[in-house]
Amino acid sequence: MKVKLVKCSIAAPPSRLPGLDRAVNPYRGCAHSCSYCYAQDVTRSETSSIWGSFVDVKVNVVQRLKKELERCAKGVYGVGTVTDPYQPLEEKHELTRGCLSLLNRFGAKASVLTKSDLVLRDIDLLAEMEAVEIGLSVSCANDRIAGIVEPGAPPPSARFDALSALADAGVDAYLMAAPVIPGVSDSRQSLTALIEAAAVAGVVRVVWDSWNPKPIASNRLKKALNDADMRLGSSTEESTFRVRSELSELCGQKGMHLEDAF
Ligand code: SF4
């Protein structure tokens, strides 16, 4: 893993994602190494490097964010819109915690997305924040399959435990059921396992998204699946409609609310 300490010129640039006004990403690159991750496709950063083999740590992001919040703290701040804010290096650098502390101090709204139970380290802070929501992203509830497509991330079982602990602490936490990958996590059985695990964890809100095929990510995912004797299925309008309908039905059975991600 190549780790670089870098400085950013802006901590919270405007976000183009719906519902978010600004985006805070303390790390560039992500050690979770998800084979389907399209951050490289979107940012075009280090496209010749192996995804998961490099992380830039924005060491001044907290100081920069403070200056920006002193000017204006309006809107919703998405934390981890490109890369995971609770990837392993966060344990040492505590940049995400620093940014969340500032957002709390300035009364700004925060929307955090992660695949890591490291989020529980900050449960005290999150429980104290008045305007925060946490999404735990899970593509597939099966730890073995997740290990194939998300080799560097904590297993889904740990993420469901985190959801449960956050719900118990009164934090607004939801399941981000994404990406639902054709041939990997889109079967009725897989969707059922996902929603049942969420229900056991006390989740009341599920946001979902389908697999978004981009060139670099598609090649990486196909290779990871081939190495495991698995195959990527095809995504069609009908299959997406079927997945949404089944998720809606399964969520309805458990009294949970389903939303589309975008
Ligand atoms: S956790 Fe998110 S940012 Fe990190 S590799 Fe996986 S999909 Fe990409």
Tell me which of 25, 35, 37 to substitute to probe ligand 1's pocket, judged by most ligand atoms within 8 Å of the beta carbon.
37
List residues bridging with 172 in a β-sheet.
133
Low-confidence winner among 36-50, 117-131, 156-170 (lowest mean pLDDT) = 36-50
Calculate how far, in angstroms, residue 220's C-alpha sits from the geometric centre of ligand 1: 13
Please state, as a whole number, how many other Cβ atoms lie within 10 Å of the Cβ of residue 93: 18
Low-confidence winner among 13-27, 38-52, 67-81, 247-261 (lowest mean pLDDT) = 38-52
User: What is the count of structural domains for the chain?
Assistant: 1
Contact 65, 102 (CB under 8 A): yes
Q: What is the DSSP letter of 52?
A: T
Residue 45's pLDDT is: 80
Residue 12's pLDDT is: 98
- Residues 169-188 have pLDDT tens digits of 999 999 999 999 999 999 99
CA distance 26 to 94: 9
Ligand 1 within 6 A of 84 CB?
yes
CA distance 29 to 43: 10
Ligand 1 within 6 A of 221 CB?
no
pLDDT band at residue 190 under the 50/70/90 scheme: very high
pTM as predicted: 0.97
- Domain hosting residue 31, numbered range: 2-260
Instruction: Count, in order, helices (H) and strands (E) of the chain.
Output: 10, 10
Residue 137 has pLDDT above 90, yes or no: yes
CA distance 217 to 249: 30
Residue 220's pLDDT is: 97
Q: What phi and psi values does residue 230 have, to the nearest 5 degrees?
A: -120, 165
Ligand 1 within 6 A of 220 CB?
no
Q: What is the pLDDT of the chain when averaged over all its residues? A: 97
Residue 77's pLDDT is: 98
Distance from first CA to last CA of the chain, Å, rounded?
33
- For the segment 105-120, the average pLDDT, to the nearest whole number, is 98
Residue 235's pLDDT is: 87
Question: Sheet containing 27-28: which strands, arranged edge to edge?
Answer: 2-6, 54-58, 27-28
Three-class DSSP labels, 171-225: CEEEEEEEEECCCCCCCHHHHHHHHHHHHHCCCCEEEEEECCCCHHHHHHHHHHH
How buried is 228 (Cβ within 10 angstroms: 0-12 exposed, 13-18 middle, 19+ buried)?
Answer: middle
Residue 111's pLDDT is: 98
Ligand 1 within 6 A of 37 CB?
yes
Q: Where are the beta strands (DSSP E) in the chain?
A: 2-6, 22-24, 27-28, 54-58, 76-79, 109-114, 132-138, 172-180, 205-210, 257-260
What is the CATH classification number for the domain harbouring 178? Answer: 3.20.20.70
- Residues 3-49 have pLDDT tens digits of 999 999 999 999 999 999 999 999 999 999 999 999 999 998 888 89
Cis link prior to 179 (omega < 30° from 0)?
yes
Residue 262 has pLDDT above 80, yes or no: no
Which amino acid residue places its CA nearest to atom 6 of ligand 1?
34
- Residues 193-235 have pLDDT tens digits of 999 999 999 999 999 999 989 999 999 999 999 999 999 999 8
Residue 129's pLDDT is: 96
